[in-house]
Every structure is written in structure tokens, then in C-alpha cells.
């Protein structure tokens, strides 16, 4: 994908399987939003093809797709009910069904008394709930959420997580565009990490972790973690947290027994884990 002389997405190829939560990751300017806009035919690709349900996306497929764009907003001077019904009808629902679903959704998110209020009179958090409702009201089989938790307060973030989970349980596919790695860890089955418009990592979360880094032992403690060149090296150390990489041929049991025997060390956590996506992300962008 090219904007004038600048090529913003290069040689990208990926597949999203039905029913999975797919994470499209990358830092700002990596090409995530451009990829999504091209997928939804908002931009024309310079070359190549992007297909949704095996076809080039057209607005005629709107009933099957719920899109929450990065740049989002609603008609601030219009009543909540009118705005939500307008978008729901545009997504293929008939007016009476749309109205019923809107009222049910507002009831669910505690905003039923706001149905006839103008959006501008609602708080930011309440407006975010309305925005989410507009995206999911027509029960799409594919949800594309571009930075969905950006600017969300904790209540709405939790609501969104629940909604994504529900959609997944119901068999919907979710494409989550984000740079928040903790959300990806919690939700995504597979990921694609874009760096400067190029696919830097692609696969299941396990595959990416296996490919990218080795398992570490994470410790939370009080006291001092002693050095032990035979058993491990300390890869990260903070006052009450450390990560250890163990030597070849050494077992976790041996390291645990050793640390448990150190008199001035009191362990509160001993966690054998692989590197987080956040760590992988940071390493990749170093």
C-alpha cells in the first residue's frame, strides 16, 4: 500500500480464521489502520487483494461486519435512540427490531433512562458505551475493533472485554487492532505484528512466544537473590522482582530448592513463564 512516494504496508499476507480473535499489533504508524481501512475497502490497495468472507468487502456486507474505527464519533446533538437506530438500520436491521435491540442494549449497560437524551449531554464513558453498542447491535459475524480500548475508562474496558468474549463464544470472528499487549495476551488466539509496514511476527501467541524468546523464572521476593552461575543468570532485577534464565541441563526444581534454602530471601512468587508479548514487542522495537 502506497501513499504517494511512501510505501506504508509492504508484502503483507495474513489469514484470519473463523471464530478466532486475531490481534493486529504494531506501534503507531506501523500500518495497522491502513491495513484495516484497505480490508474494508475504505482505501484502494496499490496492489494485492484483501478479502472478507472470501470476497472484496462492499457495504452490502455491512450486516455481517461490526467496525469500530480508530477515529470514531457519533452525532453529538442527536438523541441516543435515534442515532443508534439509524446505524442499526444501516447495518441491515429493520426499524422496529433495531429499536428493540437498542433499548435492550441500553438497559444492559445501564443507560435506559438516556434513550431520548442528546449524546452531548452524556459523559465520555456513557458515550463510549453507545459507540460500542452501535458496533455490535446487529450481531456481526466479524468484528473489527481498531484501538477499541483507547481512551476507555476501566468500566468500559471491562465491558468491551466481556463483549469480545461473548462474540467469540457465539462464533464471531474478532480482529483486534491494538498496541496494548496485555489485552492481546488475554484475548487473542493468533497475532500479526507489523513493524514499519512489514509483517514482523505472525502466528498463534504460543508460536510467537516460542519463536521469539525462551522461558524465564519470574520471582517476587523480599531480601536478596544471590548469584549462582551454575544454575541461572539474572536477566532482569528490580528491588522486589527478578527474572532468571536457567542454564542448560538445570531443572526448575533445582533452582527452586536452591532459592528456598537462601536464609535472607523470602519468595512470594515463583513463576515459570515465557516472555510476555509486551517484552517481545519492546525487544522488537528496540
Partner 1 sequence: MWNIISFETLRALKKKSFWIASLSPLLIILVIFGIEYFSTKSAASNAAQQAQTFSATAKIGEFDDSGLISQQLIAARHITIEPSKDAGVAAVKSDELDAFFYYPKDPSTMNIEVYAQDKGISFSPPYNTAAIQLLRESVINEVNSTIKNNQVVQILEKDPAVTATTYKNGVETEGLLSVIAPGIFAIAFLVLIVLLASFMISSTAGEKENRTAEMLLTSIKAQTLIAGKIFSIFILGLVQLVTLAIPLLIVLLYFPSQVGLPAGMTLGLIPLNFVPILFGALFFAAGLLLFTALLVGFGAIFPSATEASRFLGVAIIAAFLPIYALQNVISSPHTLIVTIFTYFPLTAPLTALLRNAVGSFSIGESLGALAVIIASAIVAVWFAVRAFRYGSMEYGRRVGIKELLR
Q: How far is the CB of 91 from partner 1 (least distance, A)?
A: 6
Nearer to partner 1, 9 or 191 (CB): 9
Measured from the CB atom, the residue of 73 and 249 that comes closer to partner 1 is: 73
CB of 88 to partner 1, least distance (A): 10
- Closer to partner 1 by Cβ: residue 81 or 234: 81
Q: Which is nearer to partner 1, 38 or 228 (CB)?
A: 38
Least distance (Å) between residue 177 CB and partner 1:
13
Q: How far is the CB of 59 from partner 1 (least distance, A)?
A: 5
Q: Which lies closer to partner 1 via its Cβ, residue 60 or residue 227?
A: 60
Q: Which stretches of the chain bind partner 1, using CB under 8 A?
A: 37, 40-42, 57-59, 62, 65, 67, 69, 71-78, 82, 86-87, 89-91, 134
Q: How far is the CB of 82 from partner 1 (least distance, A)?
A: 7
150/189 with CB nearer partner 1:
150
CA separation for the pair 211, 33 (Å, rounded) = 26
Q: Please tell me the distance from the alpha carbon of residue 101 to that of residue 125, in angstroms, as a whole number.
A: 20
Provide the minimum distance between the beta carbon of 92 and partner 1 in the complex, in angstroms, as a whole number.
Answer: 9
Task: Give the span between the Cα atoms of 132 and 89, in whole angstroms.
Answer: 16
Query: What are the cell numbers at 254?
Result: 533445582
How many of the other CB atoms lie within 10 Å of CB of 83? 20
Amino acid at each position: 500500500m502506497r501513499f504517494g512516494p511512501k510505501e506504508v504496508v509492504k508484502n503483507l499476507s495474513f489469514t484470519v480464521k473463523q471464530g478466532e480473535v486475531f490481534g493486529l499489533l504494531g506501534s503507531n504508524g506501523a500500518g495497522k489502520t491502513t491495513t484495516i481501512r484497505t480490508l474494508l475497502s475504505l482505501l484502494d490497495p496499490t496492489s494485492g487483494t484483501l478479502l472478507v468472507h472470501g470476497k472484496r468487502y462492499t457495504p452490502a456486507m455491512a450486516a455481517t461486519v461490526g467496525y469500530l474505527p480508530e477515529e470514531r464519533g457519533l452525532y453529538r446533538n442527536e438523541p441516543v435512540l435515534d442515532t443508534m437506530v439509524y446505524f442499526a438500520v444501516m447495518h441491515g436491521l429493520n426499524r422496529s427490531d433495531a429499536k428493540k435491540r437498542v433499548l435492550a442494549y441500553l438497559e444492559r449497560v445501564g443507560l435506559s433512562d438516556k434513550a431520548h437524551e442528546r449524546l452531548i449531554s452524556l459523559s465520555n464513558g456513557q458515550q463510549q458505551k453507545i459507540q460500542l453498542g452501535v458496533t455490535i447491535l446487529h450481531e456481526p459475524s466479524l468484528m473489527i475493533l481498531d484501538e477499541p480500548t483507547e481512551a476507555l475508562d476501566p468500566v468500559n474496558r471491562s465491558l468491551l472485554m466481556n463483549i469480545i468474549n461473548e462474540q467469540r463464544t457465539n462464533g464471531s470472528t474478532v480482529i483486534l487492532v491494538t498496541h496494548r499487549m496485555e489485552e492481546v495476551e488475554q484475548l487473542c488466539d493468533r497475532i500479526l505484528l507489523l513493524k514499519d509496514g512489514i509483517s514482523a511476527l505472525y502466528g498463534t501467541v504460543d508460536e510467537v512466544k516460542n519463536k521469539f524468546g525462551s522461558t524465564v523464572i519470574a520471582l517476587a521476593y523480599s531480601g536478596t537473590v544471590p548469584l549462582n552461575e551454575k544454575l541461572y543468570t539474572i536477566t532482569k532485577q528490580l528491588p522486589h522482582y527478578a527474572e532468571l534464565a536457567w542454564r542448560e541441563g538445570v531443572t526448575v526444581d533445582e533452582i527452586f530448592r536452591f532459592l528456598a534454602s537462601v536464609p535472607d530471601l523470602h519468595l512470594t512468587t515463583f513463576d515459570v513463564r515465557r516472555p510476555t508479548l509486551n517484552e517481545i514487542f519492546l525487544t522488537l522495537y528496540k
